Structures are given as C-alpha cells and as structure tokens.
Amino acid sequence: MERHEEVLVAIRQIIRAIDLHSSRLSKEVGLTGPQLVLMREIRDSAEETIRQMAKNTNMSQATATTILDRLEKRGLVVRLRSQLDKRKVHAHLTESGREVLSKAPLPLQDGFVSRFQRLEEWEQLLLLSSVQRISAMMNAEHLDASPLLVAGRMADDHRHS
C-alpha cells in the first residue's frame, strides 16, 4: 500500500471510530453526542446560563437551546428561572436525566484527550501540525467544527425535532 493510501485508511478508521461510538451512544442511551456533551455540562456547571453552557461546549446558543428543548421534552432536563435574577434561566438535570447520564459511555474525545496530554510537547505539536496540514489538503480548514468527536454536525440535533 502506498503512503497516501495508508493516510487515507487512517483517516477512514478515525471516521469509523466516531460513527461506531455515536451509534453505541444512540443505541445504549438514546442520546446524540451533542446531547450528551450538553447534559454533562449541565451536571458539571453551577447555575450557568444557557449562553455560558453553549460557550463552554463550543455550540451556538441557538443549537444549545434546541438541544435543551429536545432534552426537556424527554424529561431529562428542566429549565428554571434564577431565584437571584429572574431574567436568567438555568438548566438542571432531572432524576431521569442523571440516571441516563450515569449509564452513558464517556465521549470519545475523553480517551483521546487523556492519551494526547500524556505525549511529550514536541509530539503533540507534531500531531497538531500534521492534522492541520491534512485538513488544509482536504480544503476543510475553513469549515466550522467543534472539538467534539461526534458523527454529523451539531446543527443536525435540531433538524430532527
């Protein structure tokens, strides 16, 4: 196999790993990757606004709101007005939401991040520049993307309402 073919195989393996993880997540707990990420942010945040949660998860506020709408319809999340500032709304997991989240597999990027951070700095930089070069060679460097390893686009979450 030629080198360029080996690179393309490795890229395809990454895509396949993301697809398989997304399918497992959907099958096991009925969540999409963005839903899982937002639920984890709700669990870990202390009375953050929707805007702040969206920023922390690299989602647009509109996408986060749409995902929250879906999670709320399923009874996994509730939105409550702040007691201190009635203009602010905070999301909270319901008991059902906490249960679903406790059964959910970790996001795929969690394992990647911990392994990546154990690499020497020079190796991290080498990998970063290599992947950025691949992105540029595929004319993909201008595409908007979040640092979440999920199948599809974040916006897909609100297209299937």
pLDDT in tens, 56-100: 888 888 999 999 999 999 999 998 876 777 778 888 999 999 999
Q: Which domain holds residue 86?
A: 3-159
Q: How confident is the model at residue 116 (pLDDT cuts 50, 70, 90)?
A: very high
Contact 57, 146 (CB under 8 A): yes
Instruction: Give the residue from 40, 71, 33, 41 showing the smallest Cα distance to 150.
Output: 33
Q: Give the list of residues 6+ apart from residue 43 with CB closer than 8 angstroms, or none.
A: 93, 98, 101
User: Predicted confidence band at 148 (pLDDT cuts at 50, 70, 90)?
Assistant: low
The per-residue pLDDT for 158 is: 41
What pTM did the predictor assign? 0.71
Q: What is the pLDDT of residue 157?
A: 43
How many distinct structural domains can be found in the chain?
1
> What CATH number does the domain containing 56 carry?
1.10.10.10
pLDDT above 90: residue 147? no
